[in-house]
Amino acid sequence: MEPLIEVRNVTKTYGTGDSAVTALRPTDLTVLPGEVLLMCGPSGSGKTTLLSIMGAILSATSGSVKLLGQEIVGIKESRLPDIRLANIGFIFQGFNLFPALTALENVEVALTLKGLSKSAARKRAQELLEQVGLADRTKHHPADLSGGQKQRVAIARALAGDPKIILADEPTAALDSQSGQLVMETLSTLARDRGRAVVIVTHDSRVLHYGTRMVHIADGRLQEQAHGAQQSHQMEHEGVTA
C-alpha cells in the first residue's frame, strides 16, 4: 500500500550558530491510508514541529518528506499552499474558526479556496455540516456553539477539500468526554471507511483506543512506536490525562 506520508531522516533546527536549537533530530515516519496515528510526548518534544513539517507549513532543515509520493522538501514555497489545499486538512486544539462567520460560512471559506462557486460551496458546506451532525447549527456563530460543536465545524471545514491527510493537534483537549468521543469517532471513521491518514497529536488517554498506532517523541526524537494494547500502558507510563 502506497504511504500517504513518508518522512525520511528529517531534522529541524531553529536559529544558527551558538543560538541554534534542534527541535527535531533525524526522524523517520510512514503513515498509510486508513491509519489513525497518535503522536504523544511531553511539551516541547517536537510533536508540533513534526506535524507542521508533515503539513507543509514548516520547512525541514534536512531530510525528505513525501505527501502522496510528492517530495515537498526543497520545493518553492509558493507551491506549498496548493499542496496543503489539495492534500491536507487541519484540525486545531483551539478550533481556529473564524468568529465573524457562521458555521456554514466557516466551511464555505475552505470550499471557495478550492475554487467552488458561492452556490456550490454553500450546498457542499451544508452537506458536510450534516455529516458531522450540525445541520441545525449552520447559522450559528462559533461563540454560540459548544466546544464539541466547534470542533465538529472544524472537522467539516478540514474535510471540505476532501483531503487524503488529516492532521489534528490536540483535537479533544478542550472537549468533554462525550464531545471528544464523537470527534474521535468521526476521525477514525474517516480513516477506516474512506482510507484517509489521520495523524493526531494528543495527551488525552481517552482517545487511545481510536488509534491504530502510536509514536512517542521526546527531545526531538521519535523514540518508540507502540501498537494496540501497548499504547495504553505507554501513556499511563507518561502520566497523560485520563
Partner 1 sequence: MTTLAWKNPFHDKVRLAVTLTGIVFALVLIIVQFGLFLGFLDTTANVVVRSGVDLWLTAPGVPHVNGAAAFPEKRRYKALAVDGVERVERFALQFSQWKLPAGSQESVQVTGFDLDGGMGGPWNIIAGSIEDLRGEDTIIVDQLYLEKLGVKGVGDSIEINQRRARIVGLTQGIRSFTTSPYVYTSFKNGQNYTLLKEDETYFLLVKAKPGVDLQKLKADLRTAIPDVDVFTNDEMRDRTQSYWLFTTGAGVTTLMGAVLGLLVGIVVVAQTIYSATVDHIREFGTLKAMGARNSYIYRIIIEQALISATMGYSLALVAGWFVAKSSETGSAAILLPPEMAVGLFFLALAMCIVASVFSIRKATAIDPAMVFKG
Report, in Å, the least distance between residue 31 CB and partner 1: 18
Site string for partner 1, 174-213 (x = CB under 8 A): x---------------------------------------
Site for partner 1 contains 171 (CB under 8 A): no
Q: Please say whether the beta carbons of 41 and 73 come within 8 A.
A: no
All three cell numbers of 112, joined, read 471557495
State the pairing for strand pair 213-218/36-40.
Answer: parallel
Q: Which of 85, 189, 195, 218 binds partner 1 (CB under 8 A)?
A: 85
Q: In whole angstroms, what is the distance from residue 13 CA to residue 8 CA?
A: 16
Site for partner 1 contains 170 (CB under 8 A): yes
Scanning 32-40, 81-89, 131-139, 214-222 for contacts with partner 1 by CB under 8 A, the matching segment is 81-89
Nearer to partner 1, 197 or 226 (CB): 197
Determine the size of the site formed for partner 1 (CB under 8 A): 35
> What are the C-alpha distances in Å from 195 to residues 31, 34, 163, 209, 239?
11, 4, 11, 18, 32
Single-letter residue type at 202:
T
Report, in Å, the least distance between residue 127 CB and partner 1: 19
Binders of partner 1 among residues 15 to 74 (CB under 8 A) are: 48-49, 51-52, 55, 57-58
DSSP 98-138: -TTS-HHHHHHHHHHHTT--HHHHHHHHHHHHHHTT-GGGT
Single-letter residue type at 110:
A
Give the helix ranges, DSSP H, for 132-220: 147-159, 177-194
Q: Please say whether the beta carbons of 41 and 47 come within 8 A.
A: yes
Nearer to partner 1, 26 or 94 (CB): 94
Buried b (16+ CB within 10 A) or exposed e, 5-30: bbbbebbbeeeeeeeeeebbbebebe
Site for partner 1 contains 169 (CB under 8 A): yes
Nearer to partner 1, 32 or 174 (CB): 174
Q: Which of 62, 71, 98, 162 binds partner 1 (CB under 8 A)?
A: 98
Nearer to partner 1, 139 or 227 (CB): 139
In the complex, which residues of this chain contact partner 1 (CB under 8 A)?
48-49, 51-52, 55, 57-58, 78, 81-86, 88, 90, 92-94, 96, 98-101, 105, 108-110, 113, 157, 161, 169-170, 173-174
